[in-house]
Amino acid sequence: MTAQARGETQLIGVVVEVPPPFEAALHRYRKQFDDPTADLIPAHVTLVRPLEVPVDSVPAIAAHLRTVAAGVRPFDVHLSGTQTFRPLTPTVYVEIVAGVAEFTELARLVNSGPLSHTPEFDYRPHVTIAHFVSDHLLDAAASAASDFEAEFTATELGLYEPGDDGRWVRVLDAPFGG
């Protein structure tokens, strides 16, 4: 019997973290607008949304992520202003205005091989600042962060798993090799 057949799965996510000092500012927005996930994971750009995988596939996934990352050059990212995914999902995010093509290609590479799956939505790189809160709070978050600006270099991706307390824990660093 396979691990998956026995129900032995692991929830994972793959992200590029937003570095300090910008991470702290983005975290403050999530806290200010009562985002229930604010304390569960640092500010990030998602490459793989939370995904259930067989436990025995995690080593192959880690190897895949290291291989993908080794073939990617660090790239510049510019965050500016806010957008929303409403009415599709109750989400306000800081928009990526430079680095979109790089994130899109990175997500394509990551979501192949052992992570090949059909995503729920088309990929759009972004940094969430309010999610699953009232329309009033979504509007307030969009307004408060409308002039947010940050520039940094993306240098690695991380594999995360949720801990017993619900916080996502980084279990693999995969530095970009270029």
pLDDT (tens digit per residue) in 134-150? 999 999 999 999 999 99
Interval 37-48 mean pLDDT: 94
Q: What is the pLDDT of residue 2?
A: 38
Q: Domain span at residue 24? A: 9-173
CA 148, CA 42: separation in Å to the nearest integer? 17
Q: Does residue 37 lie within any of the structural domains? A: yes
Sheet hosting strand 126-131, strand order edge to edge: 126-131, 91-98, 75-84, 149-154
Across the chain, what does the average pLDDT equal?
93
Question: Around 116, how many Cα atoms within 13 Å sit in the side-chain half-sphere?
Answer: 3
The edge-to-edge listing of strands for the beta sheet with 156-162 is 44-54, 9-17, 156-162, 168-175
- For 19, which DSSP code? P
Nearest alpha-carbon partner for 84 in 95, 74, 71, 76: 95
Predicted pLDDT of residue 58: 96
**Residue 56, helix vs strand vs coil:** helix
Residue 41 maps to a domain: yes
pLDDT at position 3 is: 42
Is residue 3 domain-resident?
Answer: no
Q: What integer is the mean pLDDT of 64-79?
A: 98
How many domains would you assign to the chain?
1
pLDDT for position 119: 81
Residue 51 falls inside a structural domain: yes
CATH code for the domain in which residue 149 is found: 3.90.1140.10
**Residue 122's pLDDT is what?**
87
Write down the pTM of the prediction.
Answer: 0.92
pLDDT of residue 18: 98
Per-residue pLDDT reduced to its tens digit, 84-128: 998 888 999 999 999 999 999 999 999 999 999 888 888 999 999
Residue the block writes with tokens 């600042």: 129
Any domain includes 2:
no
Give me the residues paired with residue 173 across strands: 158
* Closest to 64 in 3D by CA, of 29, 14, 98, 17: 14
Does some domain include residue 139? Answer: yes
Q: Give domain status of residue 128, yes or no.
A: yes
User: Is 65 domain-assigned?
Assistant: yes
